Structure 1
């Protein structure tokens, strides 16, 4: 892939090793024995339990927020999983016991990823999708036969070359653009190739050369419908096309729409991401002194080697840039995790309406720990509460207007944004969404045996 690509991979691997060492050091004394404060292995099982198993058992004992309900003695997880069960997911034989132990926890988000898969997951944890191309989008609603740039991804090849939103592309490689087929064929190229664009800006023709290269996709998109701004948030990541992540992308979108009295925030299909990105975004809507959100965290008491809990609330220290604006939110059943956290933090302070369907109901968060074997342990260690200490976990956040059709939902959101009078009356869901728990323990529909997501399987 070229010298630059190889260097990038080397640097990423160094980053993984540094990160591994940093995270592992905080658990270096967490050996699984009778002096650690955890349940010890009996003598008949000690020989069959690997050091990686012991380490991971301790992680669950310290950090899994529901360990009192679901974490049994270590012996019950040893030599229990069958090769037939594991073969379906191509689990390495020496990690059977660890995978089985994690699979018996209460939620599918508490999981184990062995070294053969962990590096690919590590690269996606805090960054948006990497794309290849120029980094431009063309106005899809255009009906006049013109090719006008509607989006330019920040730090993309097109952005670095100087192309801007509103530029009209009239030729590529000197060939006039007369239809979609010509545009698509001339826009296709490989990494390192150069595409020459002729554009019109302020009635002046200009030429730009764009060298195609990988770039991180933006996570926030600003569009308009009937003169109402719609800010779409795709995910919450600390590494995006913007050097400061999703929170800075979102702040830029709020600044660009400051003159508008009403705005739609679209969180449909946003499955969450980095809590350190979405929590600061809540404060943009609030006034100084408002309580944004609370996080209950399970942690390790390093003195007594046992699990302890801490509750921390985020208090807004300055007035938010959009505290006086009217907002309408779009959400659906795939609006989850950080998206729901954002909604709960805002809606417990402001009575803005929500249009769509009841959200997923994921009011929990995970701690990611790299183990000595360079595996990744994802452990549910956090629970979200709003300013009133209310939970929405398992039940989701209900819409004021239940509309499953996307276009109809947007139309209703635009109507509400124009009117700016509707006050939210709905609350958190009253029916279990069925996305969590074991049938044997609670009346939920989710089965109790989990493996890693299939996207990380071979």
Structure 2
């Protein structure tokens, strides 16, 4: 009887395995488009910071989405974007080939367009301006941080992905794009349509000069973006200025390369933690200052609502380590880290892989960093930086020329 039961059980087991083999999709059965979709799914499955995937059953999502029509590359991209939308994370997104190439250019040198750094407001899904690039057509047109871009050439941005919106604003030098903008003060009558002529946008991340108008010289360094050259350019500025005190201007700096932010912090710190990272398992990692700083001169950092991402990592590191005093307004509040993954067709996926905390274990996501001295002011043009209307700059000068700040820094 026991022997008979054994053979029956074995037969059932073999039949079950056979049926699973028969019904299971085989790798060779997938089309080229499905394989691209599956590669995208696997990248998110391995790397995404939220192991609950925003409450989605990620394996079930795979089985459901693989059945969708993917007859050409555009349909495949649409399916991938539909899948990523389930995560409700505007920073985890597909970068189609043009957008992926543009992002690589953006972090390495120059681009052609209106000169806006944009994000997606998770509260209302609108395209929001982080900052216009200094000297760009967008800045000249009067677009400010926190403005909303409602339409691009008559197309509602609510119907576009973030990268599609960026792509529509890029284009050949001399061409015109029409942007419908809601002003940052959110007044009911603040919506206007602007005709902006595209231009070549040079992304030189650093501007520096020695301000000798006060009782002691102040080295002023403006860092507009954490591109591949940012750390090297800041280092050159520190050494060339050789000032007894510094202002580091991170206002309207939207971030960029994480490593550039960490390396720039090391220029100012001899030791101490720069940032903590927290992955999907809750594992804590850290980046430390491990080289001698280039200067120990007193430092004030200027920040505002457009100071985001890697800029907040740098600001938080120097504030928490007591290396710098922050002046200005509460920062943007982007405490998430993305990694870029290249796909075989020259597209890519940006995936949120971790959260970060400042050295004091402060989670600033959606909260921002509070400056030591809050000084609010209306947006000013680059030509007005350092003048009497730049109240934040004037506060920095006041602090750097006071005996108290110098004593604290020493």
- Give the TM bin, normalised by the shorter chain: 0.5 to 0.7
Q: Does 1:129 align with 2:102?
A: no
Distance (Å, rounded) in 2 between the aligned partners of 1:399 and 1:387 = 15
CA shift in 2, pair 1:421/1:54, >3 Å: same
* Residues 213-228 of structure 1 mapped to structure 2, 5 A cutoff: 217-225=203-211, 226=213, 227-228=217-218
How many angstroms does 1:351 deviate by? 5.5
Indicate the residue corresponding to 2:272 in structure 1: 290
Pairs aligned (count): 275
How many angstroms does 1:421 deviate by? 2.2
Indicate the residue corresponding to 1:412 in structure 2: 395
Distance (Å, rounded) in 1 between the aligned partners of 2:110 and 2:219 = 25
Q: Residues 364 and 384 of structure 1 are in contact (CA less than 8 Å); yes or no, is this contact kept in structure 2?
A: yes
Indicate the residue corresponding to 2:336 in structure 1: 364
Distance (Å, rounded) in 1 between the aligned partners of 2:84 and 2:201 = 35
* Residues 46-445 of structure 1 mapped to structure 2, 5 A cutoff: 50-70=34-54, 71-76=56-61, 78=64, 92-115=74-97, 117-124=99-106, 126-129=107-110, 217-225=203-211, 226=213, 227-238=217-228, 245-258=229-242, 260-287=243-270, 289-297=271-279, 310-322=283-295, 324-350=296-322, 352-405=324-377, 407-419=390-402, 421-422=404-405
Q: Indicate the RMSD between aligned Cα atoms, in angstroms.
A: 3.4
* Residues 7-46 of structure 1 mapped to structure 2, 5 A cutoff: none
Indicate the residue corresponding to 2:123 in structure 1: none
Higher mean displacement: 388-397 or 247-256? 388-397
CA shift in 2, pair 1:215/1:105, >3 Å: closer
Structure 2 gaps of 5+ residues are 1-22, 113-172, 174-199, 381-389
Structure 1 gaps of 5+ residues are 1-40, 84-90, 132-189, 191-213, 239-244, 299-307, 426-458
Q: Secondary structure at the match of 2:80?
A: helix
Distance (Å, rounded) in 1 between the aligned partners of 2:104 and 2:323 = 38
- Which structure would you say has the larger RCO, counting Cα contacts within 8 Å and 6 or more residues apart? 1
Distance (Å, rounded) in 2 between the aligned partners of 1:342 and 1:399 = 13
Distance (Å, rounded) in 2 between the aligned partners of 1:333 and 1:232 = 16
Give the TM-score normalised by structure 1: 0.54
User: Which structure features the higher share of helix residues?
Assistant: 2
Indicate the residue corresponding to 2:153 in structure 1: none
Q: Secondary structure at the match of 2:401?
A: helix
Distance (Å, rounded) in 2 between the aligned partners of 1:415 and 1:130 = 38
